[in-house]
Structure 1
Amino acid sequence: MDVPATYARLCGEVSHFTKEKTGTSLVDAYFGPEALDPIHQRKGKSPEELVGEVKSLIDGIRDEIDSQLRADHLIGECESICVVVEWLAGRKIPYADLVHDIFHIPMKRFSDRAIKERIAVLDDALTGFSGSDLRERVAFFVKRGEITGAQLQHLIEGELQTKAAQVGEMFKRRIHSVMGTDVTDNGVEYQTVRGAPWSGYNWYQPGFKSINQFNLDVTFNIDTLYGVIFHEYEHHVSNLWREKYYRESGDLELAVVPLHTGRCVISEGTADTAREFLGVVEDNPNIKIAEALNTLRRMTSINAAIMLNDRGRTVDEAVDYMIEYGFRTPESARSAIGFISPRTSTGGQNFWAPYIFTYYFGKTDFVLPVFNKAAGEGELTRFFQTLYLNPYSGSSVTWKQAFDWLN
């Protein structure tokens, strides 16, 4: 069995299945040979056929791949893909098991105490803002920084495009320069879209470049947008190094960048830790407030996802929770529900329903603690070399193994 080619082919075939079921392809990016491009792979295989072939591939990986880290990474990806197919085929999987079996992390709910502590942080950050209570101060802060529609489009395609180029230069100066090697970076093009289930997305393209799209249906806070640039650019950087490794090593499986595997946990974790990587210290108090609010809203979104998918609560109940504890407007809460609800607005399965956990826990449970430990021990060069020069480190399955040198 040609394990890498079989993996690439099966990812393409599963992508057709997930696209048919949910409108979303399993494969997020591809930069390998034309013949194995996901769009050229066979359509119409049954879920049973797909799962059976992926399980056979797992046996092949155990027999043929000598590197333990590479084998563990590939097996973890394949196990996740099997669960995705079975889930979308109609198998009843408890939400906690779905999150765990796709992303190899536990489903964790934030306690009421943790939410109250985060609200206190936000309250402290908004000291001095107008309003008789915290809710009014949050509303004032959010309203003053709101940007949407044509104004948002102008900002994204102008000032933010320039800012992204500056962030790219920061990665080169502060990280790539200490790693002992460099990577081609043909830049990021900023675009705007409508009708997407997400607020922003990085679409990596073959040839060391990306397209970053922002959803004009979403009302952004201008201070939040600057944080998004760092997040999305790190996604771009990670894929630059992945493409370089593939082109130099020939490890074909790396030319496929899948969604809904343990890879996503580390990918979102590193993207959310980009400012720490770069040593960015914000002196703008509005950005610090935006970070406090976004952290609270991410935590309450996780709890709302559990309400909807695990505890059988209604959309209205989840919306009310996000309004009350996430300090959202009704419109903001209902917009956020689209990402975490078990069903889409048209009644289909929501591909993204289990994904919300990857951001917060990818950072707090995986990336940031290891980064901080490496920084404390003067090992940041080796940290970045492990992270970017060895793509097999980038999974919740292999993260601890890849960084065992730090323990």
Structure 2
Amino acid sequence: MADRADWPAPASPADPAAAMFATQTIDAVATAYVLLSLEIGTHEKGYIDAYYGPPSLLDAAIASPRDKAALLATARQLMAKLDGIAPDLSDPIEKRRSAFLRAQLRAAETRLMMMDGTRFPFAEEAERLFGVRPDLKPLASYDAQLAAIDALVPGPGDLATRVEAYLDRFTIPKERLQKVFDAAIARCRGRTATHVAMPEGESFDLQFVTGKSWSGYNYYQGGYHSIIQVNTDLPIRLSRALDLGCHEGYPGHHLLNMKIEEQLVKGRGWAEYSVYPLYSPQSLIAEGTANYGIDLAFPDRTRPDTERDVLMPLAEIAPPSDDRYWQLLDAMKLLQGARLTIAQQYLDGQIDRPTALALTQKYLLFSPQRAEQSVTFTDQYRSYVINYGIGEEMVRAFIERGNPDRDEIWRRMALILGEPTLPADLLAPPE
């Protein structure tokens, strides 16, 4: 957490005087929102993903948090105040700031209701928390893709077992994880730094952990520093090195959080961006850009070439003689939407947990152990699962609209990283 006693001076608000007053009022709402978020965090472990604002606000939240009913009332009062301010805003960036705060507050309202036992249907929960109502495909629509994968991995036994056995050939030995991940993250950073300026002194610590429902996590500390954790409960395959290096690091979560701190918190003095509630529209932007960042940093043949020529030798894995390994990984990615359909059916009570596990094994081609980890994640994070696949699709569609060149693609990525961006903003043409 960065040790700052006061906020940086806000950027000059737009004219006329009414807009200036409105902006000052937004600053007050923003500070109230930060305190509200921190107090909600005292009622739910993991609600606050990152905070690096004034320690005094965090101390106040911990010392005397309001009860959930009072916090719910405050969230609604702040939304009403924003609704009254919005018509007076003339600066487009301030309008976007107001819309962002409004969406974050609606998510806070929803999460507080859920903490007190309210249950929304999966699609409504996702929309209220993350700003997108998912349009899910029936599981049968993935059967053709399973047939295509069956042709890539022929042989006796069920398909999931065959796929697991094939991919297990590409497991990184535990004693070589550090070397492989260090090299992978260094290449993710190098490719990103060619296009995006890094804040001076930025850094991260890499840790290998156990006992988690996720495979990787970025804990942003403020001051351009992150802790990146990789879960070793299950054997880690080579494909995860660049996946997690880009997703958790560059141009994923680490870069996104640094740019938010650099451009919005320090650059504009916007207090609201110093806190990141996990259950909010911020997460769809964060997970979507992090997932898209993998292909952004390693387009076309650069990923298989890097894995074959650099990472496999470090892992002491014999490179395959053909491209079937990478063809299989690409084919399996097309099954990711099935995870959302299974989560929706499970959380809406249409199927029980054993059925969710069985369907996860069948449609995601997971071992029983990996299926258990996947469903446990859904148990813990619920509709959060939409942020990965749907977020990536929305970010990709926004950035690649009109077939731009590589420089323009990176410019558009920077727009998302450094401006107040909601999921709805990704539906508009890039400026």
What TM bracket, shorter-length normalisation? 0.7 to 0.9
What does the per-residue CA deviation read over 1:374-406, in whole Å, with 9 as the maximum and x for residues that have no partner?
Answer: 54377435413422231x02x214433xx4455
Partner of 1:315: 353
- Which residue, 144, 166, 178 being the options, matches 1:141? 166
Q: TM-score of the superposition, structure 1-length normalised?
A: 0.84
Deviates more, 1:257-266 or 1:104-113: 104-113
Partner of 1:108: 135
Task: Answer whether contact 2:51 2:276 (CA < 8 A) is retained.
Answer: yes
Whichever of the two has the greater Rg, that structure is 2
Task: Answer whether contact 1:13 1:38 (CA < 8 A) is retained.
Answer: no
Whole-angstrom distance in 2 between the partners of 1:15 and 1:29: 11
Q: What is the CA distance between 1:61 and its match in structure 2?
A: 2.7
Partner of 2:377: 339
Size of the alignment, in residue pairs?
A: 375
Q: Is 1:52 matched up with 2:80? A: no
Structure 1 residues not aligned, in runs of 5+: 342-349
Whole-angstrom distance in 2 between the partners of 1:159 and 1:217: 17
Q: What is the CA distance between 1:63 and its match in structure 2?
A: 4.0
Partner of 1:253: 272
Whole-angstrom distance in 1 between the partners of 2:98 and 2:241: 38
Partner amino acid, structure 1, of 2:399: F
What does the per-residue CA deviation read over 1:299-323, in whole Å, with 9 as the maximum and x for residues that have no partner?
Answer: 3322221221114311111111122
Q: Is 1:303 matched up with 2:346? A: no
Partner of 1:241: 259
Q: Secondary structure at the match of 2:44?
A: helix
Task: Answer whether contact 2:134 2:390 (CA < 8 A) is retained.
Answer: no
Q: What is the CA distance between 1:270 and its match in structure 2?
A: 0.7
Q: TM-score of the superposition, structure 2-length normalised?
A: 0.80
Cα 1:269/1:279, change in 2 over 3 Å: same
Q: Secondary structure at the match of 1:17?
A: coil
Q: Secondary structure at the match of 1:353?
A: helix
Partner of 2:222: 206
Q: Is 1:218 matched up with 2:234? A: yes
Structure 2 residues not aligned, in runs of 5+: 1-24, 309-322
Q: Is 1:290 matched up with 2:329? A: yes
Q: How does 1:17-32 map to 2 (within 5 A)?
A: 17-19=43-45, 24=46, 26-32=47-53
Partner amino acid, structure 2, of 1:36: L
Partner of 1:34: 55
Partner amino acid, structure 2, of 1:256: V
Aligned-pair identity in percent equals 20
Q: How does 1:355-370 map to 2 (within 5 A)?
A: 355-364=384-393, 366-370=394-398
Task: Answer whether contact 2:122 2:347 (CA < 8 A) is retained.
Answer: yes
Whole-angstrom distance in 2 between the partners of 1:131 and 1:78: 53
Whole-angstrom distance in 2 between the partners of 1:339 and 1:39: 32
Task: Answer whether contact 2:220 2:227 (CA < 8 A) is retained.
Answer: yes
Q: Secondary structure at the match of 2:401?
A: helix
Across the aligned residues of Structure 1 and Structure 2, the Cα RMSD in angstroms comes to 2.5
Cα 1:133/1:182, change in 2 over 3 Å: closer
Deviates more, 1:267-276 or 1:366-375: 366-375
Whole-angstrom distance in 1 between the partners of 2:211 and 2:33: 32
Q: How does 1:125-204 map to 2 (within 5 A)?
A: 126=152, 134-135=159-160, 137-147=162-172, 151-152=173-174, 154-173=175-194, 175-176=195-196, 182-184=198-200, 186-204=202-220
Whole-angstrom distance in 1 between the partners of 2:266 and 2:65: 31
Partner amino acid, structure 1, of 2:99: D
